[in-house]
Amino acid sequence: MPLNILLIADTHVPKRARELPAQVWSAVERADVVFHAGDWVDAPLLDEFEQRARQLVGVYGNNDGPDLRARLPETATVTLEGVRFAMVHETGQAKGRELRCEARYPDADVLVFGHSHIPWDTTSPRGLRLLNPGSPTDRRRQPSCTYMTAVVGGGRLTGVQLVEVRRG
């Protein structure tokens, strides 16, 4: 049975935004599995994700303090419908990212990451798919705030979409 997944990172609540937009919460509630690649900033946001998400896979980021680090790992791995996912907040500079991540996560099919707030969707020479959903609350130099959705089933990741967060 295919699973609808949501990829999100760098929410920075309540530092960069007081709360997540309703559009994002709606996506959380529709998803079968939610991946959050760190920089939650505040433990009550993790609590809310745990309540609203059917299944949550999370890691801590560089802006997450001891309370979040006590509850979340630095890296996470999960296999869904035959697809092996790994997730970490930071992967380093863009130059050489694919080869570096391929070496660091040799058993993964997909690597979800955050930190830069810049959406990223590439595939390494050996087939590792690297996905950064951007940020739903802090667009930095991007045209809009974003997250990603996708479908996983039958051993394949399909339908990866970058979704813009509507203002207002």
Amino acid letter, 39: D
Estimate the crossing angle of helix 22-30 against helix 43-52, to 10 degrees. Answer: 50
SS3 category, 53: coil
- pLDDT, mean of each 10-residue run, the chain (168 residues): 96 85 97 98 96 98 97 98 98 96 97 97 97 95 94 97 90
Residue ranges and CATH numbers for the domains of the chain are: 3-164 (3.60.21.10)
Neighbours of 28 (CB within 10 A): 21
Predicted local confidence at residue 168, as pLDDT: 62
Give phi and psi for 44, each to the nearest 5.
Answer: -60, -25
